[in-house]
Structure 1
Amino acid sequence: MARSRRFIPSISQLSAFEAVLRTGSTAGASRDMDLSQGAISRLVQNLETQLGQRLFLRERQRLVPTVAAKAYGRDVTRALDLIARASMELSANPDGGVLSLAVLPAFSTHWLAPRMSGFLSAHPDVTVNLATRMKKFNFAAESFDAAVHFGEADWRGAGHLPLFPEVLVPCAAPSLLARHSLSGPSDVLTLPLLQIETRPGAWADWLGALGVAGPLPGGMLFDQFATMAQAAVHGLGAALLPEFHVADELASGRLTELPGGRLTGPGQYFLVWPEARADYPPLAAFRDWIAAEVSGPQAFAAGPD
């Protein structure tokens, strides 16, 4: 896409504008950029002329940014940070690239991280950075190449790769079960039922699928699976936990699967990415790798040790 040169100011102009906005004066920007105050003033004035907009109001010896300048400054700061990051990454890894992923904490800890050595071994020139994000965000406002998303294929402006559906396992600690006699799914109603904010209807769906009716007992509410899993291990209630999350606890005996079977929920895990980044080589390599991983026989289990 052709870009009007009028709306692509020089890095010097943008850096001077950002420095004045951040420090509050041409003197502060002068020290920050190691330029004279006169040079800073000329760069800002040239930027105002190029944009056809007043960015600062000159009141006595002070420069007061306009409301529009503050909004413009937020975007300029993000753009300069992105350019700086890209330059540092190129200098540090000229033959590879950096893949920045936004991940869900439980998925990252129990499914992705145990498998990442396979990807990194196959792509030693790619550096992977992980950061936690619990909700959808605007790719244009954050410097992520892709994200792991749970729910529907509804991330606007993004490509979607379905990974797998969520399978929830009903489980409880042996210490809790020792105090209750469970002969069938309906007896689960005698246990405290731990809840997670993002799946408020999970226990009702599980019991409903088994034809069990009745008011649900109360239980603690959590915002992440990790803390709910620990509460279940310590006997504070029964929990519905993702299959990949609970595999180690079941294998070690810290949790016991309850009678009644597992629940496949309506949501899925997806890898999503901004459409403009679809052909970025590190992302394409990761997308191919994770597609192969989820098609394997161990897709729903905890990762290899």
Structure 2
Amino acid sequence: MRRKIPSTIALAVFEAAARQGSFARAASEVCLTESAVSRQIASLETYLGVKLFTRVRKQVVLNDAGRLYLKNIARNLSDIEAHTAALMSHKGVGGVLELAVIPTFANRWLLPRLRDFRERHPDIILNLSERPLPFGFDETNFDAALNFDHPSWTNVVKVDLFDEELVPIVSPRYFDALLLAAPADLARMPLLHKATRPEAWKHWFEAAGVADFTPVPGMHFELYGMVIEAARAGLGAGLVPRVYVRDEIQRNDLIVPFDLSLKHEKRYCLVYPERKKDSELVRVFRDWVVGIESGFHARLT
């Protein structure tokens, strides 16, 4: 069955004209004459049966239909361009893996380890995009996601990686760990909170056997990465996933004053649609991710 897809040249010309707000500027960008741009737009409108621009005297203005069409095709054109460039640069060898990631998890865990993946698989390009919440793969071009386990993931394969484990952190540069003799002593410090986990400190103190305490007012942050940087800057004590601060702890930039943790709050996993279960690219990345984390735990035992 023949696909109902207009000319990619016409689409590229339309995207340039819509973005530039001018046929003349679009013509300069795509290296065509202004009349050629006008013909491509007219051809596209004829194909669609819908006007995309409103002609006002000598100017053209994107109308509602044009704005909607631009919104829907712009990302697809960018994806086609990116995949084409990747294929050309690698001469058809390897491939491109589109991965959705949780922002802080990507920055604190994945990116520091990606050099190893690149060295092992130089023929694979890994593109990362931020997706903090579960989503439907059918609505995107993602091959896989690193995210939390959640009931809303459907028609997917889930590979468990590790449970989230929250630990308290402070900067030894600004706070004397010797003065923290018991978990209750942390309550006298400003406590740094992740905005979406406002009860985390309360639960940690309960688990530590501190039933009644009046915490010092502390700051709230959208991301764990912000909590970590605030703790490093001496703004207070943070409660963050241990996996995010392994390197800082090893360098003694941060310390865990009491090795009491909140466990099984969430579970990190690799998720990919069932239709990708036979994908060689997904298999390679899955084996690498599982191997990286299992290798780390093996070194601890």
Q: TM-score range by the shorter chain?
A: 0.7 to 0.9
1:292 aligned onto 2:291:
yes
**5+ unaligned residues in a row in structure 2: which ranges?**
none
Match for residue 72 of structure 1? 69
Residue number among 90, 112, 121 corresponding to 2:87 in the alignment: 90
Query: 1:187-226 maps to which residues of 2 (within 5 A)?
Result: 187-214=185-212, 215-226=214-225
| C-alpha distance in 1 between matches for 2:210 and 2:298 | 30
Query: Could you say if the C-alpha distance between residues 186 and 178 of structure 1 is closer, same or farther in structure 2, counting changes exceeding 3 Å?
Result: closer
Retained in 1: the 8 A contact 2:167–2:259? no
| C-alpha distance in 2 between matches for 1:65 and 1:105 | 35
Match for residue 148 of structure 1? 146
Retained in 1: the 8 A contact 2:180–2:257? no
Query: 1:26-105 maps to which residues of 2 (within 5 A)?
Result: 26-93=23-90, 94-105=92-103
| C-alpha distance in 2 between matches for 1:23 and 1:117 | 38
1:262 CA drift (Å): 1.5
Determine what percentage of the aligned residue pairs are the same residue: 38
1:92 CA drift (Å): 0.1
| Aligned length in residues | 297
| C-alpha distance in 1 between matches for 2:248 and 2:156 | 35
Summarize deviations over 1:216-256 as a string: whole Å, max 9, x none: 33222233334433433454322222212333343444444
SS of match in other structure, 1:217: coil
Summarize deviations over 1:41-72 as a string: whole Å, max 9, x none: 33322322222222222232222222011110
Query: Could you say if the C-alpha distance between residues 190 and 21 of structure 1 is closer, same or farther in structure 2, counting changes exceeding 3 Å?
Result: closer
Match for residue 110 of structure 2? 112
| C-alpha distance in 2 between matches for 1:267 and 1:206 | 15
Query: Could you say if the C-alpha distance between residues 208 and 131 of structure 1 is closer, same or farther in structure 2, counting changes exceeding 3 Å?
Result: same
- AA at the equivalent of 1:43: Q
Retained in 2: the 8 A contact 1:26–1:41? yes
- AA at the equivalent of 2:283: A
1:83 CA drift (Å): 1.4
Retained in 2: the 8 A contact 1:153–1:160? no
Query: Could you say if the C-alpha distance between residues 12 and 216 of structure 1 is closer, same or farther in structure 2, counting changes exceeding 3 Å?
Result: same
| C-alpha distance in 2 between matches for 1:212 and 1:234 | 26
Retained in 1: the 8 A contact 2:15–2:74? yes
1:264 CA drift (Å): 0.7
Residue number among 6, 9, 22 corresponding to 1:9 in the alignment: 6
SS of match in other structure, 2:297: coil
| C-alpha distance in 2 between matches for 1:142 and 1:299 | 36
Query: Could you say if the C-alpha distance between residues 290 and 47 of structure 1 is closer, same or farther in structure 2, counting changes exceeding 3 Å?
Result: same
Structure with higher RCO (Cα < 8 A, 6+ apart)? 1
Summarize deviations over 1:160-211 as a string: whole Å, max 9, x none: 43321111112334452458452x3333322322212232221111122234
| C-alpha distance in 2 between matches for 1:52 and 1:208 | 65
| C-alpha distance in 2 between matches for 1:219 and 1:213 | 19
| C-alpha distance in 1 between matches for 2:141 and 2:107 | 22
Q: TM-score if structure 2 supplies the norm length?
A: 0.81
Retained in 2: the 8 A contact 1:194–1:237? yes
Summarize deviations over 1:110-166 as a string: whole Å, max 9, x none: 432343343223312112344555556776787654332246353567654332111
**5+ unaligned residues in a row in structure 1: which ranges?**
none
- AA at the equivalent of 2:83: A
SS of match in other structure, 1:80: helix
Retained in 2: the 8 A contact 1:193–1:218? yes
CA RMSD of aligned residues (A): 3.3
- AA at the equivalent of 1:148: L
SS of match in other structure, 1:229: helix
